[in-house]
Structure 1
Amino acid sequence: MTTSTERVQSHIPAETPELAHFIGGEWVPSHGVFTLTDPNTAELTGSSPVADSDTVDRAVKAARAAFEEWRRTTPRERGEYLNRLADRIDEASEQLAQLESWNVGKPISNAREEIPLLVDLLRFYAGAARLGENTAAGEYERGMTSIVLREPVGVVGLIAPWNYPLLEAVWKIGPALAAGNTVVLKPSELTPYTTVVLAKLAASVLPAGVLNVVLGDGMTGAAIVDHPGIEMVSLTGDGGTGKKIAAAASNTLKRVHLELGGKAPVLVFDDSDVEYASEYLAMAGFTNTGQDCTAACRVIVHDSVYESFMEKYVANVRRLRVGDPADPETQVGPLVSERQLERVLGFLERAGETSARVLTGGSRVDRPGFFIEPTVLVDVNQDDEVVQKEVFGPVVTVQRAASEEEMLRLANDVNYGLSASIWTRDLSRTIRLTKDLSFGTVWVNGHLTTVAEMPFGGFGQSGYGKELSGRSMDEYSQVKHVMISQTRV
């Protein structure tokens, strides 16, 4: 494993914005109360305001006022707005990438790869806005003509995570605005910077009040969920937060969309390309420092190729370059915060009290910042905490199994159901397993890739509802049946 220790000072981007709420087209300052830290150096970098219930109420009122006109825009008009916003983001791509890298601790090479994805996503929804409800109008009762309308829900509250602050925000903003809703968006308190820049870019494109941003922590999120003027809440976050939001939202019977955690199984079979799989999965397990709900974190290998796979896989993991996120050569950066660092170290400490054995990594990196070595654990038991719970850090477990049936059993034996991958050349096996694996996304001879056209979302403790694709437009829409009497008009 290579580490980059020559640069440990804080690389604050030149165009770092002042943090403030964006409500009704205006910047609303307030005193900073949440301290922000550079994950790369552990140095304090500033503070962020936290919106209280009154500030959230102001944002909701602005969104409701804007909704009256925004809902009347045509799909073509909304598509034009989204395309213009995509243009602005494209123009600001390097600023956004540098801010995201610095604030999250994400390698700059990864941050630069993400910006074109969200530009493409906005352009996709600009087109999807023009696709209406598929049910055909017609006479389903004599003398009566039926029409189905897809209408916006209203004001939606969007709560984005810290691991992909900008990308995940656009995953929600795109379909929400395309469907005709107005938005109150809250980024994670840890990673507000790119969302504030997004608000600035949107201010030059969207009508005032269509997109509002409130900064804050769990208190702010609770105010959004509790507000009676918000008709829907969409969260990307951990399972505990999802359960709290679902329970709180029941008080006002608002719609809830939850994209929660994952514990992705990776099934490596005896007929797989071991050389390719070992190299690919070393990347897929530790991208974004393992802070990815789809990370290839639970590898299950057939006995007959276990030894050869592990030799190559561990060698590839050890070659990962750990260091300064601003360095284009860095592949694994720091964890996002000291709290996250301590959480992952706690998993490793408790795993050490079991039969688990560390093949590589397992320790904090000796440098400033919140770094942990990419870690591979073997000899784990299926009921071990490190196998069953989402670590959300640079930790991968590897298990071995003697048959397809055992591999499938191990794969499905968790509460999460977000994503999985199969590594095989056998078409019959592929067909069987893609059906039998209880996960919302199943990749074959690949992992991590998402596209705008295909739905993304999990089963079980991974939440409900779909991101991406035209299906997510349905999440942010409500369907109305209009029936007209032919004899009375």
Structure 2
Amino acid sequence: MDHSRETALKIAERFGGGAQYIAGALRPGCSGRSHDVVDPATGEAVLRYELAGAQDVDAAVAAAEEAQPQWGSATPGERSDAMHRFAALLAERAQELALAESLQCGKPVKLTTEFDVPGSVDNTAFFAGAARHLQGVAAGEYSGDHTSYVRREPVGVVGSIAPWNYPLQMAAWKVLPAIAAGNAIVLKPAELTPLTSLMFAQAATDAGIPPGVVNVVTGAGPDAGEHLVGHPSVAMTSFTGSTAVGRRVAEIATRTVKRLHLELGGKAPFVVFDDADVEAAAHGAVAGALINTGQDCTAATRAYVQRPLYETFVAAVADLFAAVRLGDPFDPHTDLGPLISQVQRDRVAGFVDRARGDGARVVTGGEAPGGGLATGAYYRPTLITDAPQHSEIVQGEIFGPVLVVLPFDTDDEALRLANDTPYGLAASAWTRDVFRAGRATREIKAGCVWVNDHIPIISEMPHGGCKASGFGKDMSAYSFDEYTQVKHVMYDNTAVARKDWHRTIFGDRG
């Protein structure tokens, strides 16, 4: 057995006694139902654990309620110091985190070691610093008779639900701004991928963040997830996942009028104008479409290419797709791992098969590989052309290694097509013309628009969408708007018993 895989399996064994992390300790779930974590590269179960039920959620929320007041009243410097220790500890455990992420997700180890884990460590370091900068408006006299200032206060207990495509990074995106702002959190990771979320929470406790500030309940959405969202003691819900499930989360959250942050689906357009560097655009499209086997809500999924470059672009992308190496995620030479599950692979294949049946052309890919990869959830990088703009494969979120390429003639047409889906999470524009680039960034309706690149994210800048892609921001100082309550405090400066405005009540009485 490969040494890296063997190490990852030993990490998974640590959670055989329970995949719930409540008040600083691992424990089994109370639902009475078990679940297997499956290695998507082999189809083999690597961990069986008891799913969380409503009792586990209640216990985690109670632990968070107990821990939050002390954590929230700590000075910004004290929270910052603990989070700096947290970042350092994550860096020390980077290899284990990378291997566990590769095991449960099927991600190539070069992706987890070069992207997922370093990004999460950097997020932690960023929020360790940002914890000291939760500032409101400086005091001022705006009415003439009063001094006003603004406080930012924690909302209390946060209940967050994270997806399976980036378990470690999504745990970081949910936990870090919440605790930096003084909240306590209950995180529900996807039941398919709990390992690194649990490791992340353990590292928080080991770094000195008080038990109960970071809790993890690993259970099914209809049970643990819905109970967490609807819990009356949870002041805020942050959810990342599909738009369909996001609607359900919003429906439940509104019953208790809690704050809501939704980062939902995407269908990112990749617009290539006729003055673009076609080689750079082709490489950017391949990297942007295939990162994490296409299981990325910001992935490049539909490329619009101006007609003079269209054939050249399609041929270049096809050649690059064909050269991508599928293989064992623990092999450092592997470019593309499996999808998260056989179910997801079949879902992706269904999109491609229906598109083929509707007349679209599969230029390359469009099938699962055989041989030694047949037992895993693999699917070949797939390039599709000749699909109508209104078709399912252009409009729907596939969440797999599939890129659709369509031509356009005018800039007006390109921007109209780019905006012609329900989603608005991310997009990119490829051009050497600063005016074209400026127009694209202004007119494309998305939370992020890259120019001559696609996918890079940084801790200092916000991530989040509009339209059916949700609302609110992850990362950056902007995320504090989700996790803090803004309070206006106003002091009277006159010491006068009867204020001038009192005449609206007392009239002309002396």
Trace 1:215-226 onto structure 2 (pairs within 5 A).
Answer: 215-218=218-221, 219-226=223-230
Given that residues 80 and 126 in structure 1 are in contact (C-alpha distance below 8 angstroms), is that contact kept between their aligned partners in structure 2?
yes
Return the letter of the residue paired with 1:127: G
- Is the contact made by 1:48 and 1:216 (CA closer than 8 Å) also made in structure 2? no
The alpha carbon displacement at 1:32 in A equals 5.9
1:14 deviation in Å? 3.0
Alignment-derived partner of residue 336 in structure 1: 340
Contact in 2 for aligned 1:48/1:215 (Cα 8 Å): no
Q: Which amino acid in the other structure matches residue 268 of structure 2? A: A
1:48 is displaced (CA, Å) by: 2.6
Q: Percent identity?
A: 46
Matches within 5 A, 1:42-441: 42-113=43-114, 114-204=116-206, 205-218=208-221, 219-366=223-370, 367-441=374-448
Q: Distance in 2 between matches of 1:276 and 1:234?
A: 36
CA-CA distance at 1:83 after TM superposition:
0.7
Secondary structure of the residue that 1:321 maps to in structure 2? coil
Instruction: Report the AA paired with residue 27 of structure 1.
Output: L
In structure 1, what is the Cα distance between the partners aligned to 2:472 and 2:23? Answer: 29
Matches of 1:32 and 1:70 in 2, distance apart? 34
Deviation, structure 1 residue 453: 1.0
Amino acid at match of 1:21: Q
With the length of structure 1 as denominator, give the TM-score of the two structures.
0.96
Aligned length: 483
Unaligned runs of 5+ in 1: 1-5
SS in 2 for 1:253: coil
2:141–2:148 contact (8 Å) kept in structure 1: yes
Shift in Å, 1:199: 2.0
Deviation at 1:13, TM superposition (A): 3.3
Compute the TM-score of the two structures, normalised by the length of structure 2: 0.92
Q: Which whole-Å CA distance do the structure 2 matches of 1:376 and 1:81 have between them?
A: 47
Match of 1:14? Answer: 10
Please give the alpha-carbon distance, in whole angstroms, between the structure 2 residues aligned to 1:175 and 1:46.
30
Deviates more, 1:429-438 or 1:337-346: 337-346
Aligned-residue CA RMSD in angstroms? 1.6
Which whole-Å CA distance do the structure 2 matches of 1:306 and 1:144 have between them? Answer: 64
Q: Secondary structure at the match of 2:150?
A: strand
SS at match of 1:138: coil
Shift in Å, 1:10: 6.8
Q: 1: CA distance between counterparts of 2:248 and 2:301?
A: 26
CA contact (8 A) 2:28 2:51 kept: no
- Provide the rounded CA distance (Å) in 1 between the counterparts of 2:350 and 2:213: 42
Give the secondary-structure state (helix, strand or coil) at the position aligned to 1:322: coil
Instruction: Provide the residue aligned with 1:457 in structure 2.
Output: 464
Counterpart Cα distance in 2 of 1:373 and 1:264: 20
Tell me, in whole angstroms, the C-alpha distance in 2 between the residues paired with 1:132 and 1:233.
21
Stretches of structure 2 that go unaligned for 5 or more consecutive residues are: 497-510
How much has 1:469 moved relative to structure 2? 1.1
CA contact (8 A) 1:32 1:47 kept: no
Distance apart, 1:142 and its partner CA: 2.7
The AA in structure 2 aligned to 1:250 is T
SS class of match (2:73): coil
Query: What SS does the aligned partner of 2:270 have?
Result: strand
SS of 2:61 mapped into structure 1:
helix
Match of 1:3 in 2: none
- Deviation per CA, 1:280-333: give whole Å up to 9, x if none: 221211110000001111111110011111111110111111111111111111
Q: Which segment drifts farther, 120-129 or 145-154?
A: 120-129
